[in-house]
Structure 1
Amino acid sequence: MAQHKVKTIGLVVLGIILSIFWFYPFYLVIVNSFKTKAEIFVNTLGFPSEGTVENYPEAFEALDFVHSFLNSVFITVCSIFLICIFTSMAAYALSRRQGKTSSIIYFIFAICMLIPFQSIMIPLVSIFGSVDMLNRGGLMIMYLGLGSSLAVFLYFGALRGIPMALDEAAIIDGCNRFQVYWYIIMPMLKSTTVTVIVLNAIWFWNDYLLPSLVINKEGMYTIPLKMFYFFGEYSKQWHLALAALVIAIIPIIVVYMFLQKYIIKGISEGAVK
C-alpha cells in the first residue's frame, strides 16, 4: 500500500509539472494580450501593471475578423466534409474487399502519412497553379489529399471491428451498397468521424504555410494569413498579435471542448481494432 501511494503521488506530481509546461505558453499569450506594446518588452513574464482591453477591439478590426473568420470556417468545414465522406467510403470499400489489391492500397495510404509536406510542397503548388486551381477551391482539394492518409487509417481500423454480417443482413433486406454504408455503417463510425473532424479542424484552422502559398486574393485570406499583418518589416505589434491570437483560438477550443469525449474513443477504435 505504501509503495502504491508513493507511485500515485509521483504520477500526480509529474502530471502537475507537465501541465505547467503545457499551459505556460497559453499563460504568456493571455497575460501579454492585456499589456501595452512597451510593457510587453519590459515585463514579459509578470501580470500587467495596468491591464487594458483596448488591444482586443483594435486587433478585431485589424484582422477584419468577421470576413477572415468566415473564410476560415468555409475552408475548414468544406475540407473536413470532403475528407469524411471520401475517406470513409474508401476505407469501407477496402475493409470489405479481402485481397492483395486492397491490402496494397491500404498500405499505400498508411505509408503516405510518413511523407513530409515540405518535400511535395513546391511541385504541388506548381501543378495546381498551372491548371488555375489556386485559392479556396485548390486549397480544399489539397487538404483532401493531404488529410486522407490518416483518415483512411482510422476509418479502416474502426471498420475492421464491425462484422460483415451487418452488411449481409442489410443487403438481404433490400439495401444496396451505398445504403448499407450510409444508413448502417456511418452511424457506427461516429467516434471515429468526430476524431477525424477534430484533428483536421485544428490543422486547417491554424495552418499558415499552405494557405500562404495557395491563396493570392485579398478577400479569401484566412485568420492565420491576416495575423501576418501585425509583423511588418520595421515594427512588430506584439500587443495586437497576441490579442488576435486569443480571439483566433477561442473557436477551435470551443469545438474541442464539445467533442473531446469522442476523440480518445475514436483513436483507439481506429488504431487498435
Structure 2
Amino acid sequence: MAGTKAYSGWVKTVVLSLLLVLFVFPFLLLLLNSFKENTAITSNPLGLPESFDLANYSKAFDYMNYFGSFFNSLIITVCSVLIISLFAAMTAHYFVRNNTKFSQYTFLMMVASMIIPFQAIMIPLVKIYGSLNMLDNKWSLIYMYLGFGCSLAVFIYHGFVKGVPAELEEAAQIDGCTRTQTFFRIVFPVLAPTTATISILNVLWIWNDYLLPSLVLISPGNRTLPLSTYSFYGTYSVDYGPLMAGLVLTILPIMIVYLFAQKYIIQGVMQGSIK
C-alpha cells in the first residue's frame, strides 16, 4: 500500500514537472531571443545567446516610448477594472435583492451576451463610434471595456451576493443606513475576495488586449504597451530582437502583479466552489 502511494506520488511529480516545463518554455524562449540579433534568431531560435547584451532592450525602450505607453496602459486598465467591479457588484446586488421578472430577464440577457464573439460586432462597433467621433480616445475604450466585461463580472457577483444574508442589510437599515450606505458598508466589503478575483482576471485581460485598442486608439500618443510593439514591424521586415525585448517589457509588469496577487485568485475560486 505504501509502495502504491509512493509510486502515485512519483508519477504525479513527473507529470506536474512536465507541465511546468511546457508552461515556462515559451517565455524562456522569448527571454533568450530578446538578447539575440535578428540573424541569430532566424537561424537558431532555440540556441543560447552569445552574450546577454541589453542593446535590444534599450532600443525597445526608446522605440516603444515605454513610459508613455505604460502610463496609457495603466490608466486604461485601472479605470476599467474599478468601473467594472463597482458597476457589476451594484448590478448583481440589485438583481438578487429585487427578484422581479424585469431583473430576471435582464440578468439572463446579460449572461446570454457572453456567448457573442467580439469579432462578430467589431466592425459595426468601430463604424458607430467612428461616426460619433469617439475613436482615438482612452475614455471611449474604457467605456467599451465596461460593456464587454460587465456581463461576466455580474454573473460571478450574482452567485456570491446570494450567499450574503439579507438579515445583515435589514439590520443595517434598521440602524439608519440608507440602501447605498448598506451596500458600501456591509455588502461590498463582504464581496472583497470576489472583487479581488474579478479585478485580477480583468487586469490580465485588459492589459494584454491588442485587438480592441488597435481598433480604437489610432494616434501613437494613445498607444498601450501591446500596441507599441507594432513599432518593430516594417513594410517588408520585422526587427525581431527589439520586438522580443519589447514583449518581455510588456508582460513583465503584469507578471509581477499576478505573482503577488495569485493567492487572491485561489481564495476567490475556493470560495466560489464552496458556495
TM-score, reference length from structure 1: 0.95
What's 2:141 paired with? 139
What's 2:239 paired with? 237
Q: Which moved more, 1:42-51 or 1:255-264?
A: 42-51
Q: CA deviation at 1:22?
A: 0.9
CA 1:272/1:100 → structure 2, altered by over 3 Å: closer, same or farther? Answer: farther
Q: Separation in 2 of the partners of 1:271 and 1:201?
A: 22
Q: Separation in 2 of the partners of 1:103 and 1:269?
A: 24
Structure 1 stretches lacking a partner, 5+ long? none
Q: Separation in 2 of the partners of 1:5 and 1:95?
A: 49
> In the comparison of the two structures, how many residue pairs are matched?
273
CA RMSD in angstroms, aligned pairs only? 1.4
What's 1:249 paired with? 251
What's 1:23 paired with? 24
1:196 to 190, 195, 198: 198
What's 2:157 paired with? 155
Q: CA deviation at 1:257?
A: 1.5
CA 1:155/1:270 → structure 2, altered by over 3 Å: closer, same or farther? Answer: farther
Q: Any idea what SS the aligned residue of 2:99 has?
A: coil
Q: Any idea what SS the aligned residue of 1:60 has?
A: helix
What's 1:111 paired with? 112
Q: Write the letter of the residue equivalent to 1:66.
A: F
Whether 1:211 aligns to 2:213 is yes
Q: Separation in 2 of the partners of 1:153 and 1:117?
A: 18
Q: CA deviation at 1:272?
A: 5.8
Q: Write the letter of the residue equivalent to 2:183.
A: Y
1:164 to 163, 166, 171: 166
Q: Which moved more, 1:207-216 or 1:263-272?
A: 263-272
Q: C-alpha offsets along residues 146-168 of structure 1, whole Å, 9 cap, x if unaligned?
A: 00111111111111111111111
What's 1:9 paired with? 10
2:269 to 256, 267, 270: 267
What's 1:67 paired with? 68
Q: Separation in 2 of the partners of 1:122 and 1:8?
A: 52
Q: CA deviation at 1:181?
A: 0.7
Structure 2 stretches lacking a partner, 5+ long? none
What's 1:47 paired with? 48
Q: Separation in 1 of the partners of 2:219 and 2:50?
A: 41
Q: CA contact under 8 A between 1:154 and 1:267: conserved in structure 2? A: no
Q: Write the letter of the residue equivalent to 2:249.
A: I
Q: Separation in 1 of the partners of 2:75 and 2:264?
A: 23
Q: C-alpha offsets along residues 157-204 of structure 1, whole Å, 9 cap, x if unaligned?
A: 111111111111101111011101111111111111111111111111
Identity %: 44
CA 1:227/1:204 → structure 2, altered by over 3 Å: closer, same or farther? Answer: same
Q: CA contact under 8 A between 1:79 and 1:143: conserved in structure 2? A: yes
Please identify runs of 4+ aligned residues in structure 1 that moved more than 4 A: none
Q: CA deviation at 1:39?
A: 1.3
Q: CA deviation at 1:113?
A: 1.6
What's 2:58 paired with? 57
Q: C-alpha offsets along residues 206-230 of structure 1, whole Å, 9 cap, x if unaligned?
A: 1111111111222111111111111
Q: Write the letter of the residue equivalent to 2:131.
A: S
Q: Write the letter of the residue equivalent to 2:75.
A: F
CA 1:3/1:109 → structure 2, altered by over 3 Å: closer, same or farther? Answer: farther
Q: CA contact under 8 A between 1:36 and 1:52: conserved in structure 2? A: no
Q: CA contact under 8 A between 1:60 and 1:244: conserved in structure 2? A: yes
Q: C-alpha offsets along residues 11-65 of structure 1, whole Å, 9 cap, x if unaligned?
A: 2211111111111100110111111222112221121122211111111011000
What's 2:90 paired with? 89
Q: CA deviation at 1:102?
A: 2.4
